[in-house]
């Protein structure tokens, strides 16, 4: 007794898997047969035996020769007689050659684009490296300027301490000279 996958049933009956599943699900007589004639493997593949195949052939009104089913799965040599014959002819080799050539040219074009993108990426990485070096240079220059400004501020503060306060009365040279001698006289007295 042979086992058939859904793909085998589709090829033999020449119906879509959806159509076959609908019949398996909705036809009561076939549904009863499924309990005994359906095999499910541990990896969830489902196979059906000859009883299910014969019930489906009968449901669709397809007649078969004795060895026709075996031929469909590669065992016998007779042909299946069906209402509609499936189109099993391979596509012409010219179409395959054209498709292969088109795919090859597309692959080559994609390779060229990839190379161009790699070049763009390397250019952008170089620009990034240059900009980072420039940024570090400007950070160094900025630090030097900050130090110069701080030194200038310190010098200015020192000079401001030497100048008399802005609200102090202005003294003439004569009064300064006079103060100087007064201090000397007082210093001489103290000695």
pLDDT at 132 over 90: yes
pLDDT at 83 over 50: no
What are the domain boundaries of the chain? 6-72
Q: What is the pLDDT of residue 93?
A: 61
SS3 letters for the chain? CCCECHHHHHHHHCCCHHHHHHHHHHCHHHHHHHHHHEEECCCCCEEECHHHHHHHHHHHCCCCCCCHHHHHCCCCCCCCCCCCCCCCCCCCHHHHHHHHHHHHHHHHHHHHHHHHHHHHHHHHHHHHHHHHHHHHHHHHHHHHHHHHHHHHHHHHHHHHHHCCCCCCCCCCHHHHHHHHHHHHHHHHHHC
- What share of the chain in percent tops pLDDT 70? 79
Q: What is the pLDDT of residues 9-47, one digit of tens each?
A: 899 989 999 999 999 889 888 888 888 888 888 888 889
The residue-averaged pLDDT of 57-78 equals: 59
**pTM of this prediction?**
0.35
């Amino acid at each position: 007794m042979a086992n058939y996958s859904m793909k085998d049933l589709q090829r033999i009956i020449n119906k879509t898997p959806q159509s076959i599943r609908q019949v398996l699900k909705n036809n009561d007589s076939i549904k009863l047969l499924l309990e005994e004639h359906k095999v499910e493997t541990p990896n969830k593949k489902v196979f059906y035996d000859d009883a299910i195949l014969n019930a489906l052939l009968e449901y669709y009104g397809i007649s078969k020769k004795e060895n026709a089913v075996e031929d469909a799965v590669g065992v016998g040599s007779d042909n299946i007689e069906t209402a509609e014959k499936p189109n099993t002819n391979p596509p012409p080799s010219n179409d395959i050659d054209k498709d292969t050539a088109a795919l090859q040219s597309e692959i080559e074009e994609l390779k060229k684009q990839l190379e161009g993108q790699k070049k763009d990426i390397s250019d952008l990485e170089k620009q990034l490296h240059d900009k980072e070096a420039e940024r570090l240079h400007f950070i160094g220059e900025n630090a030097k300027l900050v130090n110069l400004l701080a030194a200038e501020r310190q010098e200015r503060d020192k000079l401001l301490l030497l100048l008399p306060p802005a609200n102090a009365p202005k003294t003439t040279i004569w009064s300064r000279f006079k103060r100087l001698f007064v201090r000397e006289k007082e210093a001489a007295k103290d000695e």
